[in-house]
Amino acid sequence: MSSETIEHSPLHILFFPFMGHGHMIPMVDMAKLFASKGVKITILTTPINAPSILKAIEKSKTISNINIQTIKFPCLEAGLPEGCENVDSIPSPQFVPVFFKGLELLQEGFEQQLSLLHPDCVVSDMFFTWTPDSTAKFDIPRIVFYGFNFFAMCAYECVRLYKPYENVSSDSELFVIPNLPGEIKMTRMQVAEYLNIGNWLETLTKFRESEEKSYGVIVNSFYELEKDYADYYTKVIGRRAWSIGPLSLSNNGKEQSKYRGKEASIDEHEWKKWLDTKEANSVVYVSFGSIAEFSDSHMKEIAMGLEASGKSFIWVVKKSKKDGDAWLPEGFEKRIEGKGLIIRGWAPQVLILEHEAIGAFMSHCGWNSTLEGVAAGVPFITWPVAAEQFYNEKLVVDVLKTGVSVGVKRWCLFSNVDDSVKWDTVEKSVRKILGKEEEAEEMRKKAKLLSRLAKKAVEEGGSSDLELDAFIAELGSLRG
């Protein structure tokens, strides 16, 4: 192509999402957002993941700017069952490290695509730590997408560098995360760095090295939400970063697909009709994301707590009818008729959260869910499980002050979830957050304010919109 043709052709960004819903959903939203600004997009994925991405973009006005390319995930070569191309389909916990190791086998196919497409920029997930080595071969800038907020990225770095968990002598003793603004206190059982399950410290160092070789980081957050941490990340840690979220808000025009990650297991008419009968801010929405698995006995505690609270609830459970009902207390569904709605499978979460009857979100604090709750203006009951969720809990409870914690003590990896939270804590938390006391009113007010700020950030001329424009302009200037 001549230099003149390149100058006049639209920018071309290749997105390469990790194959898990919590990573694919925001990256597909991001791809649509860039496409809406006239950028040409290629989304690279594996064959089994392609239909779900296609469904999410098919009603988008910008679909003509988006192309999906697939590369083979050599499952058998990686030691995985055929078709195991998404964390969703990992058959048992022992296959988790195999799956992550298998990601390395994607590098060759990825490089073939780079040589064919030669995009202006690659946005790839943090788990593809080898991306900068590949993009360097083709002189293409690489942007990392963690799917984390600034607070968690800063906390990870401060804990990794200063190892504050080494200065406490018991599992219950609190330490302050050194250098991190805001006197954030945690225990060592809540930080993956101390537990070092699956050699996490080594993985974290790999992420850092990969990030240092990259052009910058793109963040699903908005500046007004966590100014101190956005500034700390760029000015103290010294990374280039653009916050362009909340991504769940940027694509929700009427013509958009309502499909996010999976087909909803409940008809819109049904959940909406049910919520329409409830008063504003009177229902707690309970969901623990796309991965976390709770034991039957633990689910029973949640059920008993929700029932004892006397409040209305929507509870998303991943178990289907064929898994049996051992997790349900005897006669539960009959007793909660009209009070509680159980969604078995996949909920249309963003749409439900936006309903005015939703007054609180009991969440595992996955960042997508958390930011979706922030955007919808609901306070939280925080119940972190794994990943960076304990840091997100701190952001919600201690910094934003829009949530109460159920007090989970131990971080876990996928299985063996901390099940120490009992039904009476569930009951108390639900009553408190939906109650009329000053503390709850205060949280509601703050949550509504954050929602207004979130919406403003993605409007034309808002902070996220401006950062997005600045980022696109900078990529354009790299063409020389």
Given the complex with ligand UDP, which of 16 and 361 has the nearer CB atom? 361
Q: 125 an active-site residue? A: yes
418 three-class SS = coil
289 binds ligand UDP (CB under 6 A): yes
* Long-range contacts formed by 100-106: CB under 8 A, 24+ apart: 100/127, 102/73, 102/74, 102/75, 102/77, 102/78, 103/18, 103/127, 103/128, 104/130, 105/73, 105/74, 105/77, 105/78, 106/46, 106/71, 106/73
Among 142, 188, 260, 394, binds ligand UDP (CB under 6 A): 260
346 binds ligand UDP (CB under 6 A): yes
350 binds ligand UDP (CB under 6 A): yes
Stretch that binds ligand UDP, among 105-113, 175-183, 361-369, 461-469 (CB under 6 A): 361-369
357 binds ligand UDP (CB under 6 A): no
Distance CA 432, CA 426 (A): 10
Among 90, 154, 177, 291, binds ligand UDP (CB under 6 A): 291
410 binds ligand UDP (CB under 6 A): no
- Closest distance of CB 475 from ligand UDP, Å: 26
Given the complex with ligand UDP, which of 327 and 367 has the nearer CB atom? 367
- Closest distance of CB 422 from ligand UDP, Å: 23
Among 119, 141, 366, 462, binds ligand UDP (CB under 6 A): 366
- Closest distance of CB 22 from ligand UDP, Å: 2
For tokens 């990943």, the residue is 387
Residue among 406, 342, 4 at smallest CA distance from 190: 406
Given the complex with ligand UDP, which of 35 and 350 has the nearer CB atom? 350
Q: 307-326 mask for ligand UDP (x: CB under 6 A)?
A: ---------x----------
Cα dist from 186 to 120, 151, 177, 237, 307, whole Å: 42, 14, 8, 21, 31
Please list every residue from 136 through 165 that binds ligand UDP, using CB under 6 A.
none
349 binds ligand UDP (CB under 6 A): yes
429 binds ligand UDP (CB under 6 A): no
Helix-strand-coil split of the chain, %, nearest 5: 50, 15, 35
Given the complex with ligand UDP, which of 291 and 475 has the nearer CB atom? 291
- Closest distance of CB 142 from ligand UDP, Å: 23
For tokens 């998303």, the residue is 316
403 binds ligand UDP (CB under 6 A): no
At 316, the amino acid letter reads: V
369 binds ligand UDP (CB under 6 A): yes
Q: Quickly count: other Cβ atoms within 10 Å of residue 385's Cβ.
A: 23
Residue among 397, 406, 379 at smallest CA distance from 301: 406
Q: Show the tokens assigned to 394.
A: 């701190």
Residue of 29, 120, 125, 465 with catalytic role: 125
Residue of 23, 29, 355, 418 with catalytic role: 23
CA dihedral 247, 249, 255, 259 (to 10 degrees): 60
Stretch that binds ligand UDP, among 186-194, 276-284, 367-375, 418-426 (CB under 6 A): 367-375
**Residues forming a β-bridge with 16:** 124
Q: Show the tokens assigned to 33.
A: 């957002």
Distance CA 69, CA 471 (A): 24
86 binds ligand UDP (CB under 6 A): no
Among 95, 233, 367, 471, binds ligand UDP (CB under 6 A): 367
Strand 241-243 and strand 216-219: pairing? parallel
21 binds ligand UDP (CB under 6 A): yes
Q: 229 with 151: CB under 8 angstroms?
A: yes
Q: 25-64 mask for ligand UDP (x: CB under 6 A)?
A: x---------------------------------------
Given the complex with ligand UDP, which of 342 and 350 has the nearer CB atom? 350
436: Cα separation from own chain's centroid: 30
221 binds ligand UDP (CB under 6 A): no
243 binds ligand UDP (CB under 6 A): no
Q: 23 an active-site residue? A: yes
Q: 362 with 385: CB under 8 angstroms?
A: no
Stretch that binds ligand UDP, among 56-64, 110-118, 342-350, 467-475 (CB under 6 A): 342-350
- Closest distance of CB 30 from ligand UDP, Å: 12
Given the complex with ligand UDP, which of 258 and 422 has the nearer CB atom? 258
End-to-end CA distance of the chain: 15
Q: 68 with 45: CB under 8 angstroms?
A: yes
- Closest distance of CB 43 from ligand UDP, Å: 17
Task: Please return the burial class of 115, using the count of CB atoms within 10 Å of its CB with bins 0-12, 13-18 and 19+.
Answer: exposed
| Main-chain dihedrals φ then ψ at residue 124, nearest 5 degrees | -125, 155
- Closest distance of CB 276 from ligand UDP, Å: 20
Q: Quickly count: other Cβ atoms within 10 Å of residue 300's Cβ.
A: 18
Which positions lie near ligand UDP, rule CB under 6 A?
A: 21-22, 25, 260-261, 287, 289-291, 316, 346-347, 349-350, 366-369, 372
Q: Which residues are catalytic?
A: 23, 125
